[in-house]
Every structure is written in structure tokens, then in C-alpha cells.
Structure 1
Amino acid sequence: MKVLHVITNLETGGAEKLLVDFLPLLKQDCQVELALFQGQKTEFYKRLKDKGITIHSFSENRNVYHLKNVFCLAKLARKFDIVHTHNTACQIYGAIASLFSKAKWCTTEHTTTSRHRVWWFAPVEKWMYSRYTHVICISEATQQSMQEVVGKSAPETTVICNGINIKKYHDAFPASDLKKDGKIITMVGRWSYQKDQATIIRAIAKLPKVYKLWLVGYGETEEVLKALARKLCVNDRVLFLGLRNDVPNILKASDVVVQSSHIEGFGLAAVEGMAAGKPIIASDVEGLAQVVKDAGLLFPHEDADTLALEIEGVCMNEVLYSELVEKGYVRAAQYDISTMVEGYTNIYKTIFSK
């Protein structure tokens, strides 16, 4: 069984990181390769190549919506039994390419919002999903969001939550190159509007100087966030770490992990924090709340005042801290990547047999 996964590129992002961890394990059960609309040699790209994954790049940096991507995908798909798309551009162009391919097509829905909120896109989206044999949703929230738009014409769907290598995070040693001075609050995620690092920066500004913030990632809001830190006079307490290959070690060196996102389809970074044995405080938004509820603390979306109180409350209360660590690890164990691999493999076998 030959399976081709398709995504726009391998820049930093939840779906991209998922493929880096997931595809090498998936190839134990089937022949799996990856197609990219943009094939920049990012760190994720190099990691997949090192793990033996064949990567087909349609261009170096051509616009992901360039029509040439449709023809490249349609031609490549003829060599595979199943084609699995991720992210909007690939989902739309995959639907078009499926008209010229005998392969079985499936897709993963990673988000609860974005295009689902654009009313005029609904007819396009309904047609797009009709071209897929199966849709995998990363949470019940993403499934509900999709079905609200597609309605009764929705294809067969299955919820398979994202997963991580629990042992990798649990057994990690604290990062040795970072000076731990005070209480370390960490947030991992692309620096973007969606992730809303601005709220955690505002919360840090409301806390005593002993509280420091580590931001792991990179993205388009970097300069805006740095300007905000300077404006609030906390630039000496906010460390922008950039892209790191040692996220488990950074989490181990932290005291509390925060996810202050505007939007999350699932909340993989929250699971990583719980697996590393750290209390999680997250914004109460769809997808993320389902992962954290009853295993961590939730605060009202964009409420920096409440977030600051929650952070200080956890750090000052040893009993609460230990309780959240214990509950968080139990919750994280539910999302081991082996369960995800098994779920995807079973769907592929079902699709292939039809």
C-alpha cells in the first residue's frame, strides 16, 4: 500500500511538526512519501530526509495556490494507492487533482475556523469535501466545525487526535544552555496572530520580576511581539528562543507551560507540556479546552489579568502544582503517537479495500 501525504511546506507549524514525528512511524506499516508545494530545506525537511522519507518538491517557493501545483499533484498521485492532503491549498487542489487520478483520497482537517467562517466559501468547501473518501478530524471541535458548513453532504469522518512520543518528553533532561533564573513560563508555537503570544507577554508584565517568559518558535509577529515587550518594559524578562530542536528539554527546564492561543484545532503543544510533567494553563477556546479541561487550568480568551493570577497561583501553591502535574501526565498518556498511527493505518486499510 503506497501512501502520499501532501502539505504546502515544512515550515514551523502544528501540522508540519506532526508529519515529522508521524511519517517515520507510519512507514513501518506502508510505503509512505511526502509531496510539498514549496520545498524549502527547512529544519523539518532535513529531519524527515534523515529519517528516510522520500520528499517530492513541486517548487522552491512558488505560491502555494499556483495552478501548476494541481498538475504536479495529479501526475504524482498516479503512482500511489492513497493520497492524503493537509491544509487548505492542498485540500482544494487535491480535490481538483482527484478528478484525474484513480487513487483513493483522504484529508485531515486541522482547524476549527479560518475558511469555515467565510460564508461565500461554503459551496467550494462542500464540493471539495465531496471529492474525499474519508476526512480525519484532529478533535471533536474540528469535526463539528466542518459539519456545520458541509451539513448532510459531509463525507465519512473520523476523529483521531494528534499524538506525541510521550516517553521522549517525560524522560528528557532540562536544557543545559539556558540559564534558569526565577520562575520560567514557556510557550511553544509559531509567532502568529493565531497563537496570541501578546496575551502571555501582557500577563508577564503584571507579575513580579522573578517571573520570566521563554517563547519558542518563529513567525510573522516576531517584531510586533518584541515591540510589545519593550513597551511594557519586560524585554529583559522575555526571551525569544527561536526555532529549537530540544523542545522537550526546554519544557523540562520550565516551571509552567502556557498556551494563550486565539485558535487551536487541537493543542499539541499543551500535550507536550503535560507529558514533560509541567502544569498547563491555556485559553478557553475550542479544541484546546477539550485537551486541557480537568487536567490543567483554563482562562478566558485574551484575559491577561486572569492569566497572571493563574500563573502566580500555581507557582505559589505546591499542592495545586503537584496535582496539575499528575493529572496532566495522565491526560497526556491518552495522546501517545502510537495510538494515532494505529488509527490512521486502520483507515488506510479500510479505504484501500473499498
Structure 2
Amino acid sequence: MLVSALPHFRAAGYETHVLSTGVDRGGFAPALERAGCVVHHIPFDRRLAFAHRFHRLVAAVKPHVTHVHCERAAPLYAGLAAPSARVIRTIHACFDFTGTLRLRKGGERWLCRRVFGVIHAAPSPSVRDNERHRFMNDTALCPNWYDDSRFFPPTDAERHAARRDLGFAPDDFVVASVGNHEPVKNYHRALQAIRQLPPERRVRFLHVGRPIDPSTGESLPQLAAGLDLSDQARFVGQSDEVPRYLHAADIHMMPSMREGFGMAAVEAMASGLPQILADVPGLADFKGIAPGVVHASPTVNGLAAALAAMSAISDAERRQAGLAIAVAARSRFSTATGVARYVQLYGSSNSC
């Protein structure tokens, strides 16, 4: 998102610095630097030395706007940056904190808003509503955007080439899912749902992303093998060629138990694919965007029913619906549209 947005931010007068607080700079740091970002790295530490190093960075860079994206230590960043900069914080997930943690997080948001003047933003109505109801925290709605220079509907020739290169037959019904495997993504139920469809539907599952859950060691290829789906499922791992895989698909499925926004769904919409989305926070927000975006219960039976209905539609009908979905996605979630919302929050007269 940031790489695609940098030309728009520069056009509005903004230079972008990025702070990584991970153990290392992160694998995407070189791409950010090639795009024109200045990347700083201060590994997070709960000791006072970390706060001191961050404060020195703020004093050196002198930002007009500090944009916080993390839940961890958000009040620290806001408190140290607020005296000299406008502070925006985007809350990227529907945090379901309860008990004393909920009270503490609500207090942190109050402190940031009322004392430090932080403007909170939410990428989706689901996050906005969760913040309001759980933490009494009002947020500005600023949906995420996709890279519209990379994600767009393929031509017929591009689609046929992608399917041929990946070994899919013309009558295969290819279901793509993009995302790293972890419990909340619900891929185990998606595989069980595919198992319910009869062989004559020729369902093929194409997964792009990390196929092994690092926290549990659970493997999607092993799950598929246990369901006798090895011949129907392909796991390509993490890839920079997501558009090519989407071009080979007939539909996109996102069976997650919850999402903050559903970026992979938007990228697939922009690529002209009909959608099967779980009817959960973060994905339910896409209801009514266009015909061909179907919501289903994130259960085996719910996903199986949606797959059966979608596979029964002709290829021509799916392609027509997908093109309309792509138009709707571009009008709502293009890079220029998303950046404009944040420039408005930043204050368009500021230049940094």
C-alpha cells in the first residue's frame, strides 16, 4: 500500500520516513527504500532506552505528521511525537479485548485522543464500530487501498496464458485464496468444503501464501492430503506474483473468521474475480458492493453451499460479474482515493 501511494504523497508535498521496530529491519525495507522512503530501525524494547531513541529520532526528523500503525506502545509514540507533530493512528484490526485489558486499552485511546490530540482512523466500518462500541473511541473511516498499477482484470489472452502455465484445464473451476495460514484464516474448513463438492465440478484450490502455521506447525498440504485433495490443491507459498495467480482463477474465496479490512479480497475484486467471503467483521463490509460478491457462513456447510452455487454459474456469467466488481473496487479503493482521505487528515497545507 505504501509503495504504491508514495507518488501521490509526494505530489501532495509529503516526504515519507518509516520506522521499523521489529527485531530486524524487515524484508520489505529495500522495496520501501527503492520507492523513496527513508527507513529507520529501532528494535522495540520495554526499557527506557527505547523511548529515548525514538524521541531522538523525532527530534532529528522533525515530522509534521506522525502516523502510528501499531497497537503496541501506541500511547508512547503519540506522547513523544504530539508536542511537535500532528498524530494520526490507524487501528488495523477488530481488537476483542475484554476485562481489565479492555479497560486499559480504552484508557489508552482516551489518553491519546483527549491529551495528545490523536486522530484515530479505521480502515473499515467493522473496525470503526468495534472501536466505538468496545472502547467508546470515535474514528475517521479511511479504507485501505490496493495497488491499481498491479491489480486489474486480465485480458482473455492473459487469463488463458496464466491457466496454461499453471497447468489448469479450461473446464477446471479454480478457487484462489491469498493469505498466510493461521487459525483465523479458516483454511481447514475451506478444504473440507471443497471435499464436499462432487468430482464433476472439477474444483481446484489455489493457495498463495505461507502454507504452514508457524505457531502450531499445521500444514495445509498435509491437511489436503488427509482429505484426498492433493490432486485438487496447489500451494505455491509466498509470492510476488499474486496478480498472475489471480488471473488464473475463476473466483476468490476468503473464509476468515474475522478481518480488519480484507485487503486480499479487494485485490482479487480489482482483478475481476467474483468472491465468496465469510460473513464476518471486516468482510461483511463488502456486502452490496456489486453482484457476484457472495457472503457465506464460515462453516464447512456454508462455504460448500456457496462454492456449489458459484461453480454452477457459467464462465461467461462469472467473467461479466467480475468485470463489474473490478469497476466497483476501483471506484472505492484505488490508490488515489485512499491517499486523498489521509492527506485530508494530515492537513493538505502541511509539507514535510
TM class, shorter-chain normalised?
Answer: 0.7 to 0.9
Deviations 1:203-256 (CA, angstroms, capped at 9, x unpaired):
122224421212112276264142422332223432222211111111111111
Cα shift readout 1:151-188 (whole Å, capped 9, x = no counterpart) = 2xx46x32111111335321554447522242211111
Tell me what 1:45 maps to. Answer: 29
What residue is the counterpart of 1:310 in the other structure? 306
- Tell me: CA distance 1:317–1:35, structure 2 relative to 1, closer, same or farther (3 Å): same
Which of residues 114, 137, 142 is equivalent to 2:127? Answer: 142
Letter of the structure 2 residue corresponding to residue 83 of structure 1: T
User: Would you say the 8 A contact 1:264–1:286 is kept in 2?
Assistant: yes
Q: Extract unaligned runs of 5+ from structure 1.
A: 1-17
Q: 1:95 to 1:170 in 2, by over 3 A?
A: same
Work out which structure has the larger RCO, using CA pairs closer than 8 Å and 6 or more positions apart in sequence.
2
Alignment deviations for residues 60-100 of structure 1 (CA, whole Å, 9 cap, x no partner): xx56x56544333222122211110102115243134346x
> In structure 1, how many angstroms separate the alpha carbons of the residues matched to 2:124 and 2:235?
30
The one-letter code of the counterpart of 1:94 is Y
Instruction: Select the residue among 328, 332, 338 that pairs with 1:331.
Output: 328
Work out whether 1:218 is the aligned partner of 2:206.
no
Q: Could you state the TM-score of these two structures normalised by the residue count of structure 1?
A: 0.82
Partner of 1:15: none
Change (3 A) 1:36 1:203: same
Q: How far 1:39 sits from its partner (Å)?
A: 6.0
The answer (yes or no) to whether the contact 2:145–2:334 under 8 Å persists in 1 is yes
The answer to whether the 8 A contact 1:189-1:195 is kept is yes
Give the match for residue 94 of structure 2: 112
Which one of the candidate residues 243, 248, 257 is aligned to 2:252?
Answer: 257
The code of the aligned residue for 1:48 comes to L
Q: TM-score, normalized by length of structure 2?
A: 0.83
In structure 2, which of residues 183, 194, 197 is the aligned counterpart of residue 204 of structure 1?
194
8 A Cα contact 1:110 1:137, kept in partner? yes
Give the C-alpha shift of residue 312 in structure 1. 2.5
For the pair 1:185 / 2:175, whether they are aligned, the reply is yes
| Percent of matched pairs sharing the same residue | 22
Give CA-to-partner distance per residue, 1:283-312, whole Å, 9 cap, x none.
001221112445200001x21222122123
Deviates more, 1:317-326 or 1:265-274: 317-326
Aligned equivalents of 2:219, 2:285: Cα separation in 1: 28
Residue 305 to residue 183, structure 1, CA distance change in 2 (3 Å): same
C-alpha offsets along residues 291-350 of structure 1, whole Å, 9 cap, x if unaligned? Answer: 2445200001x2122212212321221275245324412321221111111111121116
SS at match of 2:133: helix
Distance change (3 Å), C-alpha of 1:278 and 1:81: same
Q: Which residue of structure 1 aligns with residue 52 of structure 2?
A: 71
Q: Which amino acid aligns with 1:170?
A: F
Moved >3 Å (runs of 4+): 39-43, 65-69, 114-118, 171-177, 350-353
Corresponding residue of 1:14: none
How far apart, CA to CA, are the structure 1 residues paired with 2:47 and 2:203? Answer: 46
1:348 aligns with 2:331: no
Counterpart contact for 2:287–2:295, Cα < 8 Å: yes
Letter in structure 2 aligned against 1:184: V
Q: Which has the larger radius of gyration?
A: 2
Question: Partner amino acid for 1:95?
Answer: A
| Partner Cα separation in structure 2 for residue 103 and residue 54 of structure 1 | 18
Residue 232 of structure 1: aligned partner = 227
Question: Partner of 2:85 in structure 1?
Answer: 103
Question: What secondary structure is seen at the aligned counterpart in 2 of 1:93?
Answer: helix
Residue of 38, 55, 72 corresponding to 1:54: 38
Residue of structure 2 equivalent to 1:4: none
Match of 1:33 in 2: 17
